[in-house]
Copies of this chain bind each other. A is one copy, B any other.
């Protein structure tokens, strides 16, 4: 993740303690936090960080293409730092757990011209839903 900080500095980002903390929180695989969760964890490392800064920073990371917004949850947006390895999501319908997955094939190719209605299609987002092992046992 220090890669990320390097890359951002290279793009003229001013390096602040707040931004460093947000970047640290968004580290790892299968990380899909809401803005509020990011804020909570950031506060643990830097008590005076404000909600607005977390939102600002997340928004910047998204427009720089370093973090993805995912809408698997219908309540709040979630942020996925794994932006450089294209992937989709597998969500537990019960507990909301999210895993990154890498399906075979390219769903873009499955959309025939006749179904494109003249759109220039550039991207596709796939969400698989099911029940995770933990919830299956509990049921």
Residue numbers of A with Cβ under 8 A of B are 69, 71, 74, 77, 90, 92-93, 99, 101-105, 107-108, 110-112, 115-133, 136
Lowest 10 A-B CB distances belong to which pairs? A118-B133, A121-B130, A103-B110, A119-B130, A123-B129, A105-B110, A101-B115, A125-B127, A120-B131, A103-B111
Contact B119 A110 (CB under 8 A): no
- Whether A110 touches B111, Cβ cut-off 8 Å, given contacts A69-B74, A118-B132, A136-B120, is no
How long is the Cα–Cα vector from A37 to B104 in the complex, in angstroms? 38
Contact A112 B104 (CB under 8 A): yes
How long is the Cα–Cα vector from A46 to B71 in the complex, in angstroms? 34
Cβ contact of A129, chosen from B110, B118, B121, cutoff 8 A:
B121
Q: How far apart are A75's CB and chain B's nearest CB, in angstroms?
A: 10
Cβ contact of A124, chosen from B102, B108, B116, B129, cutoff 8 A:
B129
How long is the Cα–Cα vector from A111 to B77 in the complex, in angstroms? 24
Contact A121 B90 (CB under 8 A): yes
- Whether A119 touches B107, Cβ cut-off 8 Å, given contacts A125-B129, A127-B125, is no
Contact B117 A107 (CB under 8 A): no
